[in-house]
A = this chain, B = another copy of it.
Amino acid sequence: MNLPGKTVERLSEYRRTLLGCLAEKKNYIFSHDLASRLHITAVQVRRDLMLIGYSSVQRKGYDVKELIETIGSIIDSEVSMNVAIIGMGNFGRAVAGYFKGKRSKLNLVASFDTDTQKIGKVISGVRCYPLSEMEAMIRDMDIRIAIITVPPDYAREIAGEAVRYGIKGILNFTTVPLNVPSWVFLEEYDMITSIEKVAYFVKENVV
C-alpha cells in the first residue's frame, strides 16, 4: 500500500494512542476521542482509517485491539527489520532508550561510535561497535535502517558510508541536511526548528 508520508505518521500516532487506551482498559474509541487526544480533527481520523479500509462499529466506535492490529499489518514489516544507531552521544543513547522493552518489528541490533570507552559495551540496551566494523555488520546482520546521531561535522561522511554499505533508510537527527541516492528513504529531524517554532508563537502570542 502506497500511503503518503503524513498518513503513515498519523497511523503511527494512532497506534501509540490506542496502545495507551488498552492500558486504560478502554476497548472502544470514537473517532472524535482519538482525534482530540492527538489535536487533530475527527474527519482526518476517519479519512485515514478509510484509506486503510477500516471502519467503526456502529455506536461503539473503533475496536481498539482490532485497529491496533490493522495498523500494524499495514505499517509494520512482516518480518523484523534491523536498525542501527550511529553515534552514541546523549542523543544516540536517548534513541536507544526508546527501543528498550518495545514489542516491535524493529530490532535495534547495533550501535557504532569511535569512543573506545563505549566500544564493546552494552549502552542503553544495545552493544556498541567501532565504526570500522560498520560495513561488515550492516551486511552480515542485514541492517536496513541507520539512525544518525553523530556530531554535525561527520554527518555527511557517515551517511555516505552507511548508504554504500547497503542501508535503505536513514533517520537523520543531526543539524546537517543530507543527500542520499533515490533508493534510500531519508527522514530528517532538527530539534532547533521545533524550538524556534515554539519561540516564534510564544513571541507572537498567537496560539
- Contact: A194 with B187, CB < 8 Å? yes
- Which A147-201 residues sit within 8 Å CB-CB of chain B? 147, 168-171, 173, 175-177, 182-187, 189-201
- Contact: B202 with A144, CB < 8 Å? yes
Residue of B nearest to A10 (CB): B193
Contacts of A124 in B (CB 8 A): 90
- Contact: B171 with A5, CB < 8 Å? no
- Contact: B95 with A191, CB < 8 Å? yes
Does A37 touch B at the CB level, under 8 Å? yes
- Contact: A106 with B195, CB < 8 Å? yes
Which of B20, B97, B145 touches A90 (beta carbons < 8 Å)? B97
Which of B20, B189, B198 touches A170 (beta carbons < 8 Å)? B198
When all copies of this chain in the complex are counted, the total is: 2
Does A103 touch B at the CB level, under 8 Å? no
Does A84 touch B at the CB level, under 8 Å? no
Residue of B nearest to A147 (CB): B195
- Contact: B90 with A93, CB < 8 Å? yes
Contacts of A190 in B (CB 8 A): 13, 16
Per the bound structure, the CA–CA distance linking A5 and B204 in Å amounts to 12
- Contact: A175 with B97, CB < 8 Å? no
Which of B39, B194, B205 touches A189 (beta carbons < 8 Å)? B194
- Contact: A207 with B193, CB < 8 Å? no
Given known contacts A13-B190, A105-B199, A184-B207, what 13 new A-B pairs fall within 8 Å (CB)?
A: A5-B197, A9-B194, A16-B175, A20-B176, A38-B177, A76-B199, A90-B91, A106-B195, A145-B195, A169-B201, A171-B198, A182-B207, A189-B191
Q: Which residues does A use to contact B, with CB under 8 Å? A: 1-3, 5, 8-9, 12-13, 16-17, 20, 37-39, 75-77, 81, 83, 89-91, 93-95, 97-98, 105-106, 124, 144-145, 147, 168-171, 173, 175-177, 182-187, 189-207
Please name the 5 residue pairs, one residue from A and one from B, whose CB atoms are nearest each other, closest first: A90-B94, A91-B94, A169-B202, A185-B201, A169-B198
